[in-house]
Structures are given as C-alpha cells and as structure tokens.
Chain A
Amino acid sequence: MTKAKAPAKPVPIRVLIAKPGLDGHDRGAKVVARALRDAGMEVIYAGLRQTPEEIVRAALEEDVDLIGLSILSGAHMALIPRVLALLKKNHAGTIPVFAGGIIPDEDARRLRAAGVRAIFGPGASLEEIVTTANALARSAA
C-alpha cells in the first residue's frame, strides 16, 4: 500500500494507542492520543488493561500503520515483547511499535534490541513523539 501519494490530500496515518497490563494511569496515553490527532492522525484509542492478544487483534482489525504502547506498571519486559512476538506470529511484524512510560535505560536497550522502534520517558516532548510517530509510520508504508 502506498500512502501519501497524492500530495494535496495525504491519507491519514492510523495509529493504535493502548495500555497493556494492569496499571490505571492513562493520562499520558490520552495526551499522546490527542497530540497525534492534532497532527492529523486517526488514533484508535483502545484504552486501559489490554492484553497483548487484544492489542494485536485490534491492530490487525483496524489495519493500523503504527502501534503506541503506554505502560507504567513495571511489567514492560513481560508485555511488550509478547506484543512483538504476536505481531510476528500474525505476519504483521513490520508494523512499527513505540512505547512510553517509566522504562529504565537497561530495559529500554533490551526492548530496542527486541524490535521496539522508539521509547519515550517522562521527559519526552509531544513534538518529539509526533515527529517520531510520523517518521515511523511513513517508513513502514
């Protein structure tokens, strides 16, 4: 699928924003969802307490270009690799995944090695997230 071929009216990027696991802190995910909306993207907001299976299912049904996972529970090393593995299993390993939350540097390094394309900590600016999301989605298309 070629996107952005008509310069006058580009096809909107579709992005899934979800929170895997059990923490209830969704402020960050909502702020990011809104920033991506304001950047012209169609944000499928799946909300809280999603299992990796539900997230991958949503990504496939919604035909998204990009997946953003927000996680503040500390369970990122269990849940994010599981999402990546399920995407691969469903022949959707090319959908870029980025993550945000409280993720220690050592874990971030390992998650990047496992295939997470970008990781944003508490200091990340919305501009940085939007720019990265745009670049990731366009590179995958």
Chain B
Amino acid sequence: MTGSPRLPPAAGAILRGDRRALARAISAIEDGDPSAGPILRALFPRTRGVPVIGFAGPLGVGKSSVINQLVHQLRSIGRSVAIVAVDPSSPFSGGSVLGDRIRFESRADDAGVYFRSMASRGAAGGVAAATREAARLLDAAGFDVVLVETVGSGQVDVAIREIATTRVIVLVPHLGDEVQTLKAGLFEIADVFCVNKSDLPGADLARRDLSELVASGPRDAGWKPRIVTTSTTAPSGIADLWSAIEAHEAYLDSSKSRQDGERHRLAIEIVGLVRDRVGRDLTVRLERDPALRRLLDEVLARKIDPRTAAERLEPLSRRGA
C-alpha cells in the first residue's frame, strides 16, 4: 500500500518514517501552501485516532518540563511520541521566539520522538490554525501518542478542547483561592488536573480545592477529572500523570465517548473549514465586486446595518462555492 501510485510522494515518505518530509508537510500546512491538501487527503485514511493529549495552563507553571518528563516516561514503556509546542506570535512584528524546545531533553538519535515548535500566528485560543492537521499527520506517521502544548493560557483559551482527546490542565500552588476554581473556562475542560511544582508549599491546599471542584461539578457524568501532583525538579508523579491520562483514554473507549467526541470535533472542524473558505471568498469579493462595494458603502453611510448587509451577502456565498 505504501507504494501505491496514487499516493503523493511526500505522503509516502511520511508513512515510511521520513522525518524531514513530515517536517516540511507541517510547514506547508502552517504556510497555507497548496501542497498540504493532497498530503492530508492521502494520509487521512491512514490515521488511527491515537491519543492526542492537550496541555493547557497559565504561563510558567511548567508545562514544557512536565511534557519533557512525560516523554521520558512514555519512552521507558516503549511508546513513540510526538510533541507540538505552541508559543505566541507577536501581534506587532508577526515574529516569535519558540522556546519550549529548551526543556526538551532526548537522545539525538531516538527516532521514537519528534518535537515541533509552532507559532500561534494570530490564532486565539492557545493553539495555531495548523495544530490540528499537524497532529493528524503525526498520527499517520505512526506515533503512538501526540502531546500538544498550548500557549501559556488565560481562563478562556479552550481551543484545545477541539483537538485533544484528553485535556490536562497544569497548575501550581497558590494560583488563587477556591473561588478561582468556580469560574468558567479552563477549569471546565479538564480531564486531568496536574498540580505541578508540588515540592512548593501549598500543594496540598491546591489539591484540596480542586477535589472540591471535582466533587461538586459533574461536567460529564461518566468521568470525574483526576488530580495528580507532580514535580519536575526531582521528578515525581509523572507515572501517576500517565496513569490518569490512560484511565481517561480507557474511559473514552469503554463509554462510546471517543466516537462521540471525535464526531463532535470533526463537525466543528468541517464547519470551520467552510467558514474560512466562504469568508476568504466573500472578503475578496467585498473588495472587488462593484455591487458588493456599494453594499459596504451603504453600511458606511448608516443606511443599512451590518446584520442586514450580512443577510444580503449570505446567499452569494452559496453561489460562489
């Protein structure tokens, strides 16, 4: 099958374990290069739906260090692992310093690990537009587990929910009192809470506050988020963290939640792709098509409001596609 003539050469190379072909294909996705489409199309049937573990949490809590330890843990039990680490792009220059690789320690000749830094390139929500499709290529490339590190995030950066099968929220002691745990957002999407830097005072209190949160709120009746405490300076709790992640993955398999979750995520993805295409198309036409420019002029002149303009524009999106 690998040698199938219909397969684009880059896709075949990725299936054969060619890391450079993989790296270039991820760049093509990021850059919106047309070469990415055929590769993704060819490799989608080869994806197996491997666990995609998302790591979110405020900046400085140690997400990169926890992931580095988890990579060691996974390698020690013979699992191959790919990491996509997202850092923010500057809204001013568009540039970025991608520094998560500093925490990454792996033997340079270990083919069972792949690490990719990714700039958010203006996407909100903690991941880049290319993260989902990059994770899909990593699945097709044969990695057993994909870890996604999100931008050090605030309370509303929950886009990882639409990519990951298991969401780990990394926290540290003394982030705030228990009222913080009642707020909406990041806390609601956790499948596993990881209280890192547990060698610091206050770890027990943080753990207790989270226990109360978990006990009081059945987000999903079938799964109560697990709480683990970890430290990466004198590594501890990492095996517990992996056990908690595996327990959630096992729950997904046992409860039909995996399929439901994937179906939900795919629906969001497909609608998002349509929205992007239609949006791009309409944006160009609004600038170029004289009739549509007049529509915009009418809004500018306060003759019609933006909602009315959108209603008139909407049927055009169907014709254009």
Contacts and interface: CB of A to CB of B under 8 A. Distances in A.
Contact of B109 (A3, A38, A53): A53
B101 A1 contact: no
B114 interface: yes
A34 B90 CA distance: 11
A43 B20 contact: no
B98 A44 contact: yes
A119 interface: no
Contacts of A24: none
A28 interface: no
Interface of A, secondary structure class, is: mixed
Given A33-B97, A37-B93, A1 B24 contact: yes
Nearest to A65: B27
Contact of A42 (B20, B33, B92, B98): B98
Given A37-B93, A42-B119, A57 B98 contact: no
B280 interface: no
A47 B98 CA distance: 11
A63 B98 CA distance: 13
B23 interface: yes
A54 B108 contact: yes
B99 interface: yes
B270 to A, nearest CB: 25
Contacts of B89: 12, 42
A79 interface: no
B97 A92 contact: no
A62 interface: yes
Contacts of B33: 1
A12 B117 contact: no
B42 interface: no
A95 to B, nearest CB: 11
B95 interface: yes
Contacts of A90: 20
B93 A39 contact: yes
Interface of B, secondary structure class, is: mixed
B29 to A, nearest CB: 11
Interface residues of B, number: 30
B93 A60 contact: no
A106 interface: no
Contacts of A58: 101, 115
A40 interface: yes
Contact of B97 (A3, A11, A34, A60): A34
A12 B27 contact: no
A92 B20 contact: yes
Given A38-B95, A53-B109, A63-B26, 20 more contacts: A12-B95, A12-B96, A14-B27, A33-B97, A37-B95, A37-B96, A38-B90, A38-B93, A39-B93, A40-B93, A40-B94, A42-B96, A44-B101, A44-B117, A45-B97, A47-B102, A61-B116, A62-B116, A63-B24, A90-B20
Which 9 A-B pairs rank lowest in CB-CB distance, beginning with the nearest? A53-B108, A37-B95, A63-B23, A47-B102, A63-B27, A11-B31, A40-B95, A54-B108, A40-B94
18 contacts: A1-B24, A1-B27, A12-B89, A36-B95, A40-B94, A43-B97, A45-B101, A51-B108, A53-B109, A57-B108, A58-B101, A60-B23, A61-B114, A61-B115, A63-B20, A63-B26, A91-B20, A92-B20
